[in-house]
Structure 1
Amino acid sequence: MLDAFTALSRGTRLVYTPGLRRYVFLPILVNLLVYTGLLYYVISRFGGWLDGWMAMVPSWLEWLNWLIWPLFVISLLLIVFFTFTLITSLIAAPFYGLLAEKVERVVTGQPPVDDRGIMRAGMDAIGRELVKLGYILPRMLLLFIISWIPVVNMIAPVLWGLFTAWTMAITYLDYPMDNNKVSFADMRRRLNARRIPTLTYGGWVTLITWLPLANLFLLPGAVAGAVLMWDKHYRDQGNATAVSR
């Protein structure tokens, strides 16, 4: 059985082979420009955000500042990272959808079920990203509220970590599933049915995104890794469901 780390390492090697690397450099350039702008914005305001959070700590909890402060820092970093990821994924989605299609042709020798043109694939990818945002943002808001509640927010970093891994899995595994006409609801069912591989894959992608600059070159490999994971872990679930019905 293909594990998540092997899928990511194979995928990264695959996207830089002569037949596929031309589909990689444009999303790298787009992400670089977005990351540069967002990073400048965050660095200029990070201290003010942190001071605002610490000012909300009740006086009777000030003796726990040594613990609350690092938890606030971790939560804030996770929120910033999560926002970065959502924005860059939305912008890069049309390019990554096309890359996933080309990788699937190479890996399986067959085109995806929904073999679309470039323009239609790009528009559909943006629409799919909006569907994902509709799923992610309410849950993100709930975690954000938890992060502001004294005492309860001590578990916020753990919750953010798990949610981020799950979201990364949804974000990248959705590219091959969308290309194969798997609905968003069906995709979540398939991911739930393979929760351990799904969270493991999402966790590795999360770690990749935390590597400054290197992540720009590794994330296309996560798209290819998602295609490999789709082919080995999730593709046949649709057939199994049809038989059971």
Structure 2
Amino acid sequence: MRDLSVGFGYLVKGQRWVGGHGRWFGFGLLPGLVTLVLYAAALVGLGYGADDLTGWATPFADDWSSPWQGLFRGFLTALVFAFGLFITVITFTAVTLLIGQPFYESLSEQVDRTEGGDVPESGLPLWRELWISARDSLRILARVVMYGVLLFALGFIPVVGQTVVPAIGFCVSGFFLTHELTSVALQRRGIDMKERLALLRGRRMLTLGFGVPLTLSFLVPLVAVFLMPGAVAGATLLARDLVAPAEPEPANPPPAPYSFNKD
């Protein structure tokens, strides 16, 4: 439980950091605004087309009597839209990071600089960094879609599908959201996707403490855009903790030689 609160603390610290560095906050808003416009258009289209999609996918319900047809298709329409939101929350960060790669790289480096110590640089050209980010994001997206399809199917289970499954979905979203955000700082440190996932799995509660509240916040319109700069800053602070070298344990002093007291 302590790691959950520590993870949330990194999210708060990141927001405080950009709050104290207003120029970097404004700098980090631009990619999110562009992505927001794209996703808003996609969700509006899904909202208008979800009913038609559900009707096309369930022709066997055409002859059902009222109100069962409406209830069944209404439930499926809600699930389709919820699935769209689930994918949006995950891919929003990946697309925003891809669009804003130069912006967030600079922001992350500035966080490292103000926190002291070395400021790692990948040494790769921008096109190469964009390619690696896009490739890794597609790999993560494939995993997310796999989990999303599974959770979507489990959503049909009575009671469990409306309680436990959404909770698991938020945890899955939070984990992969944290991965996407920490990848900015960890990629600069030469840590590939496989190693990044291993790091986050090793500190699962810390990862969820950071990612789940952020996932819930991203469900509120416009919030994702304004939280993104602080989320990148907080993820950089989190990444520094994940790769920090362990403190060496103090060497035990050698035992004092045994001596006999002479009277």
Give TM-score scaled by structure 1 length.
0.78
Larger Cα-atom Rg: 2
Residue equivalent to 2:86: 78
Change (3 A) 1:214 1:139: closer
Distance 1:230 1:86 in 2: 17
Residue equivalent to 1:204: 213
Question: Please, which moves more after superposition, 143-152 or 23-32?
Answer: 143-152
Q: Deviations over 1:65-104 (max 9, x none)?
A: 2654443332232223334333222112221122111101
Amino acid at match of 1:52: L
Instruction: Note the aligned Cα RMSD (angstroms).
Output: 3.4
Residue equivalent to 1:26: 27
Change (3 A) 1:131 1:235: farther
Residue equivalent to 1:135: 139
User: Is 1:44 aligned to 2:45, yes or no?
Assistant: yes
Residue equivalent to 2:98: 90
Q: Deviations over 1:3-34 (max 9, x none)?
A: 1222111111112334xx43332331232123
Q: Deviations over 1:42-61 (max 9, x none)?
A: 21342213431354345499
Distance 1:168 1:150 in 2: 22
User: Counterpart of 2:100 in 1: which secondary structure?
Assistant: helix
Change (3 A) 1:51 1:160: farther
Give TM-score scaled by structure 2 length.
0.73
Residue equivalent to 1:242: none
Change (3 A) 1:150 1:38: closer
Runs of 4+ displaced beyond 4 Å: 60-64, 66-69, 152-159
Q: Deviations over 1:153-183 (max 9, x none)?
A: 9486455433311210111111221222222
Distance 1:63 1:218 in 2: 38
User: Is 1:8 aligned to 2:15, yes or no?
Assistant: no
Distance 2:154 2:57 in 1: 9
Amino acid at match of 2:119: P
Distance 2:10 2:125 in 1: 24
Amino acid at match of 1:14: W
Change (3 A) 1:150 1:192: closer
